[in-house]
Amino acid sequence: MACTVVFSYAGHRNTGGKDAETDSIKRQLYMYEKLDLITETAIPLLNEIGLSTELPKLTAPTVEGKLKQLLTAVPLDYNAQVQSYIDRYSTDRYRSYLSRMMGLSTYYFPIYEQVFKETGLPAEIKYLSIIESALDPHAVSRVGATGLWQFMYATAKMYELRMDRHMDERKDPVLASYAASRYLLEGYERFGDWLLAIAAYNCGPGNVQKAIQRSGKENPDFWTISPFLPRETRNYVPAFIAMTYMLEYHEEHGIFPEGEVPQVGETQLISVQNPVPFSTLAAAIGTDESLLKFLNPAYKQDFVNGSVETPKRLILPQVSPTNYEELYAVLNETDHSISNETLLAASQPATVTYTVKRGDTLSGIAKKHKGATVNGIKTANGLKSNQIKPGMKLQIF
């Protein structure tokens, strides 16, 4: 291993004899130093001219130094809060979890990286999705945030993600990543700081603006306004930095991809203009229905409700030329035994209005509506407590 020896060569000229020999050796050592090649192989030369042969000990880079070596657009600052999350993620309890995240990342991260390259978002923000959803497109938080990037219903509508009885584009890795990019880029344009943009992604730009005002500073960084942010956001940014560190240096921590992730390989995007069951599509291209559902998590039911007026996007594994004809026939078939009632129900908005009846409770109402949660209902309707009265009209997402 190369190490640095402090050695100064004066560069004077000798006329001959032992001094000339010593001068030649010094020249060699000087060149080794310039090339960072002072190693154990230089010891004989050092001995010959009577210099110390004890090579300096190498100092392992610190966590702070390693974060700086990553050369990211997002400032990966180091402090006690970041270290506390690194300590947590370094435990045996988290090692298997992070290995599973690495396994899932082999599919999701290339999608993120392509989207971020197009939109101009720093690539390292891909690690934020682990903090948000543990790379689970079907993740739903206690307040109803959904998908890989955990969009609330109202925010998702702002970024033109479709949600109805049949599909929820918050779960679509590609479309949700474009929406997340827009949200984060807007935060960066507003605050001029990536960590503040990330904080705004968690708690909203309004809360970040209030924290800036409370700090009394003109252009504060995240750490300056951190005491004035919600507790979750105070922890959110250090957790992101620590996650980035752990997975960038995963080998040093014994973290390697694990878990059953479908071997997808190349994929292709098609437009579907007729209602087609997943089972029929899978049979046509010779693959498992479960793989189609993995590639298209936004669909809530077992079919793609495409139409000429509203064609639907579908991701397929690479289709063999021998299956082209059958796939074409399936996509153009107009009768796949899907009832009109099912198709009509699938096209209805995801939001329903529920009128509270005597004896109703929020938990009971949530159980009646698939995907609804008590906190989600409270948030959507501005409820401060679990108390409801007969006759109240609640929006259920």
324-376: pLDDT as tens digits? 999 999 888 876 555 455 545 545 555 678 898 888 898 888 888 766 778 77
Radius of gyration of the chain (CA): 29
Domain termination residue (choose one: 253, 281, 311) = 253
| pLDDT beyond 90 at 52 | no
Same domain, 304 and 238: no
How many whole angstroms from its chain centre is CA 397?
A: 25
Distance, in Å, from the CA atom of 88 to the CA atom of 243, rounded to the nearest integer, reads 10
For the segment 297-307, the average pLDDT, to the nearest whole number, is 89
Where b means 16+ CB within 10 Å and e means fewer, 74-111 reads: bebbbeebbbebbeebbeeebbeebbbbbbbbebbbeb
pLDDT at residue 38 in the model: 46
pLDDT at residue 202 in the model: 97
Domain termination residue (choose one: 253, 286, 305) = 253
Between 14 and 284, residue with greater pLDDT: 284
- Angle (CA) 325-328-334 rounded to 5° is 135
| pLDDT beyond 60 at 390 | yes
Distance, in Å, from the CA atom of 201 to the CA atom of 207, rounded to the nearest integer, reads 10
CA neighbours closer than 13 Å in the CB half-sphere of residue 362: 17
Q: Tell me if 16 is assigned to some domain.
A: yes
Same domain, 78 and 172: yes
Q: Tell me if 118 is assigned to some domain.
A: yes
Q: Which of 43-52, 224-233, 338-347, 367-376 shows the lowest per-residue confidence on average (mean pLDDT)? A: 338-347
Q: What is the pTM of this model?
A: 0.75
pLDDT at residue 369 in the model: 78
Q: Tell me if 305 is assigned to some domain.
A: yes
pLDDT at residue 264 in the model: 75
Q: Tell me if 294 is assigned to some domain.
A: yes
Cβ neighbors of 154 (< 8 A, separation 6 or more) are 380
pLDDT at residue 41 in the model: 58
| pLDDT beyond 50 at 294 | yes
Q: What is the dihedral of CA 153, 230, 97, 152, to 10 degrees?
A: 0
Q: Dig out the tokens for 307 from the structure.
A: 């139409």
Same domain, 97 and 176: yes
Same domain, 200 and 309: no
Q: Dig out the tokens for 4 from the structure.
A: 């640095």
Between 59 and 231, residue with greater pLDDT: 231
Distance, in Å, from the CA atom of 383 to the CA atom of 375, rounded to the nearest integer, reads 9
Q: Under a CB-based contact definition with an 8 Å cutoff, are residues 292 and 281 in contact?
A: yes
Same domain, 357 and 336: no
pLDDT at residue 345 in the model: 52
Q: Which of 136-140, 164-168, 206-210, 230-234 shows the lowest per-residue confidence on average (mean pLDDT)? A: 164-168
- Angle (CA) 87-89-94 rounded to 5° is 135
Kindly report the CATH number assigned to the domain that includes residue 376: 3.10.350.10
Same domain, 195 and 213: yes
pLDDT at residue 343 in the model: 47
Pairing of strands 312-317, 393-396: unpaired
Q: Which of 33-37, 90-94, 374-378 shows the lowest per-residue confidence on average (mean pLDDT)? A: 33-37
Instruction: Dump the DSSP string for 89-119.
Output: HTSHHHHHHHHHHHHHHHHHHHHHHHHHHHH
pLDDT at residue 7 in the model: 37
Distance, in Å, from the CA atom of 176 to the CA atom of 326, rounded to the nearest integer, reads 31
- Name the maximum alpha-carbon separation found in the chain: 109
Q: Which of 50-64, 85-99, 298-312 shows the lowest per-residue confidence on average (mean pLDDT)? A: 50-64
Provide the pLDDT confidence category of residue 381 given band limits of 50, 70 and 90: confident
Q: Tell me if 259 is assigned to some domain.
A: no
Q: Tell me if 94 is assigned to some domain.
A: yes
| pLDDT beyond 60 at 24 | yes
Kindly report the CATH number assigned to the domain that includes residue 103: 1.10.530.10
In which domain, by residue range, is 184 found?
Answer: 66-253
Q: Dig out the tokens for 146 from the structure.
A: 């959904």
Same domain, 54 and 77: no
Same domain, 118 and 163: yes
| pLDDT beyond 50 at 177 | yes
pLDDT at residue 247 in the model: 97
Between 84 and 395, residue with greater pLDDT: 84
pLDDT at residue 44 in the model: 66
Cβ atoms within 10 Å of 318's Cβ, excluding its own: 11
Percent of the residues in the chain that have a pLDDT greater than 90, as a whole number: 55
Please give the tally of structural domains in the chain. Answer: 4
Between 96 and 339, residue with greater pLDDT: 96
Q: Give how far Cα 225 sits from Cα of 76, 155, 232, Å.
A: 17, 24, 14
| pLDDT beyond 70 at 243 | yes
DSSP state of 73: S
Q: Tell me if 260 is assigned to some domain.
A: no
Provide the pLDDT confidence category of residue 3 given band limits of 50, 70 and 90: very low
pLDDT at residue 5 in the model: 39
Same domain, 228 and 285: no
pLDDT at residue 385 in the model: 84
Distance, in Å, from the CA atom of 157 to the CA atom of 162, rounded to the nearest integer, reads 7
Between 62 and 125, residue with greater pLDDT: 125
| pLDDT beyond 50 at 9 | no
| pLDDT beyond 90 at 206 | yes
Q: Under a CB-based contact definition with an 8 Å cutoff, are residues 210 and 240 in contact?
A: no
The mean of the pLDDT values for the chain is 84
Percent of the residues in the chain that have a pLDDT greater than 70, as a whole number: 80
Same domain, 211 and 73: yes
Same domain, 240 and 100: yes
Same domain, 143 and 121: yes
Q: Tell me if 136 is assigned to some domain.
A: yes
Residues paired with 354 in a beta bridge: 394
Amino acid making up residue 6: V
Give the orientation angle of helix 173-191 with respect to helix 194-203, to 10 degrees.
120
